[in-house]
Structure 1
Amino acid sequence: MNYKKKYLLFLLIAISFASIAQKKTETQSLFEYQGRVEKMPDNKAILIGAASSVSFDFIENSCSVSLQSVENHQNYVSIELDGNYIGRVRIEKGEMKTYPIKVSNSKKTHHLSIYKATEAANGGVLFGGTTAKLAESSVSKKKKKIELIGDSITCGFGNDASTIPCGSGDWYDQHNAYWAYGPVLSRALNIDFVLSSVSGYGMYRNWNDEHENEPIIPDVYENLYLNKDSSKPYDFAFQPDLVSICLGTNDLSDGDGKKARLSFNEEKYVSNYIDFIKTVYKHAPNTRIVLLNSPMVSGERNVTLVKCLKKVIQAFENDKTHKPIVLFEFQPMSPKGCGYHPDIADDKVMADQLIPYFKKLLNEMSIPKKL
């Protein structure tokens, strides 16, 4: 083979590899990710946090997706097609499997979203791609953004007993973050969202741990997987206009009633809360923060919780850099989900209470500051 032929062969191979690389890049750009997600090679991604998602547009009516629970147990995802919820799917442990998406309408282009129904503590769900013919997204990318920080309530713990009754199966078999109050209000307001929440965790202690053996939300917030693994930090590329914090239920809890439990430490709770807000501001300096009480805390405990939240707000009263921190109090509720958690109907009630308030705050964020 002479030099000229070798050169042409090399050129063809180079062009081929460049074309493949470009195609992979173009394909990846057609997938839209939201929430705590780790992007992997070959157009794959791990859905980590509750209600983290992958969305895409596709042409015609043929579509299936490849999904895998990366842990040695089942996980769940919720599917939305053309803006309509079509159900929660159980992803069994083991190898990656293909799940067909039933398309019943005759639209030329469809929009599919896959939301992780379980939470970060349940391990990731690996999205392995789709057989569908992808199209450029028709969904507007210029939206307001909100981050919702919390515990099991924010995760959607125990809210969906439609297939497995409360008390049956594993503790996460009734999780459906798609119907948690945060995603519900975000869809109503047409805003992007991320949930940074872990069931059982608190601001200074957890449901059944005095911060001795388990981390708390401030310990894991800056880590992508919301665990103690700091080797994969969260990049905070998502810059929320509003940050909602709903933590205190577990700090005020009596735990399981068997393990020794100290009295609630107001000073420690308030101190940790103040430090945590400073962490939030470090990563989202232009956001506005809203503190929420808990629909699972009532009576004197709620009085104590609200008093502590007001002390936290008072600590920032001279802060001229950020918009004032505000407090929202839920109306009293008797939750009807598993383990005295809100069910889907309760989550909607919570969302309905928050929607007008959050809409007002987001509109205020749009008003330019006076010079």
Structure 2
Amino acid sequence: MRTVFFLITCLLGVTTLHAQTNLETGGRVAPLSDKGIRLIGAASFVAFEFEGTDCQLTLASVDDYPHHNYVSLELDGTYLGRIRIEPGRPAPYSVAVTKSGRHRLVVYKATEAQNGFVDFLGTTAKIVAPGKAKKRKRIEFIGDSITCGMGNDESALPCGSGEWYDQHNAYWSYAPITARALHADFLLSSVSGMGMYRNWNTENSESEIMPEVYGKLALRESDTRPFDATFQPDVVTICLGTNDLSAGDGKKPRTPFDAKQFTDNYIAFIKMLQQRYPKAQIVLLSSPMLNGERHATLMAALDTIQAAFPTGTLRRFTFQPMEPKGCGYHPSKEDDQKMASELTPFLKKLLDEK
């Protein structure tokens, strides 16, 4: 019989049980010295099984300056909603559990790495040892704001109001939706506005790009913590290029798209991934936010990239054209679900081959 130990502490007036064991984590996360978990990347999560109806979480929004974050909750496979985590001292957040018995709760970070972190500092729930986990396939999704779930959730505030990330919900990004449909473990490595050789409104000399930050745990060049390769995916998808081809805000001068720099960076990035994940199948995704000439330009660049590797090494997937209905010309929740419905059968076939 496995024994579960707890450390009882009083945290700023909130009595909390910190589980030393039986916490499951996923995505870009980091352990804290007090047995807590720091959620860093979009859709990173902490999960646990518990008994009863008492479930209060202690959470904190942490960054270099005070601001809020969001988490999304899933109880027994059912989405409960998104919670705003206020800055400052850690605070209690109650989870509505109406039925007694055994439950599984997953706390997902709805915002992304550049919004700072959400610290999970404990729960009043009576955590129990999980059942034996089945071996599942693994997928990593690399991308920008589309993959982060930016602009897809207006449940709290409509587009154009609040902070730029108030409509973020990584839980409803096409990536986690696809992974859930495939019953696969997943990891998001995504940053809004980021590109392969330049970003939405900046050139590479002005800001860091995905190849420069991917190996950093917090997807920031200033972060000294490496992103280790413990998570070995069966499939890696890359959805980048939207920002490289963007015209920016239309005010700041923008140089013409450099196809050679884009493809050179992309090829080098793939080679790095192949060394990191020698058994993974890599899939290049189109951008649902590009159409017309820009879509054709991206497709031509992906042709060049694919031709730089032996036949069959890389796979391609093209989303159907869409007019995104989310905030800031991003996919809405419904758009994300449509994207997932297109991508899921394609990835299922790849996973079945492995």
Same fold (TM over 0.5): yes
Q: Where in structure 1 are there 5+ consecutive unaligned residues?
A: 1-19, 366-371
Contact 1:57/1:138 (<8 A) preserved: no
Deviation at 1:279, TM superposition (A): 1.2
Separation in 1, partners of 2:32, 2:259 = 43
Separation in 2, partners of 1:40, 1:139 = 26
Structure 2 partner of 1:91: 85
3-state SS, counterpart of residue 29 of structure 1: coil
Deviation at 1:141, TM superposition (A): 4.5
Give the one of 221, 234, 244 matched to 2:227: 234
Equivalent pairs, count = 340
Separation in 1, partners of 2:309, 2:5 = 49
Structure 1 partner of 2:167: 174
The 10-residue stretch of structure 1 (274-283 or 341-350) with the greater mean CA deviation from structure 2: 274-283
Q: Deviations over 1:63-82 (max 9, x none)?
A: 11110001210000000001
Q: Deviations over 1:273-303 (max 9, x none)?
A: 0000011112111100000010000011111
Give the one of 113, 116, 119 matched to 2:112: 119
Separation in 2, partners of 1:230, 1:317 = 35
3-state SS, counterpart of residue 167 of structure 1: coil
Deviation at 1:28, TM superposition (A): 3.1
Contact 2:148/2:173 (<8 A) preserved: yes
Give the one of 349, 362, 366 matched to 2:338: 349
Give the one of 30, 36, 42 matched to 2:22: 30
Contact 1:310/1:327 (<8 A) preserved: no
Q: TM-score, normalised by structure 1?
A: 0.89
Separation in 1, partners of 2:209, 2:134 = 33
Structure 2 partner of 1:333: 322
Q: Which has the larger radius of gyration?
A: 1
Contact 1:159/1:337 (<8 A) preserved: yes
Q: How does 1:243-322 map to 2 (within 5 A)?
A: 243-317=236-310
RMSD: 1.6
- The answer on 1:149 being equivalent to 2:142 is yes
Separation in 2, partners of 1:264, 1:49 = 29
Contact 2:69/2:86 (<8 A) preserved: yes
Matched residues, percent identical?
54
Q: Which amino acid aligns with 1:125?
A: V
Q: Where in structure 2 are there 5+ consecutive unaligned residues?
A: 8-17
Q: Which amino acid aligns with 2:21?
A: S
Contact 1:240/1:287 (<8 A) preserved: yes
- The answer on 1:68 being equivalent to 2:60 is yes
Separation in 2, partners of 1:172, 1:122 = 8
Q: Which amino acid aligns with 2:332?
A: D
Contact 2:52/2:99 (<8 A) preserved: no
Separation in 1, partners of 2:98, 2:107 = 18
More helix by share: 1
Contact 2:4/2:21 (<8 A) preserved: no
Give the one of 16, 38, 43 matched to 1:46: 38
Structure 1 partner of 2:180: 187
C-alpha spacing 1:264/1:96, structure 2 compared with 1 (3 Å): same
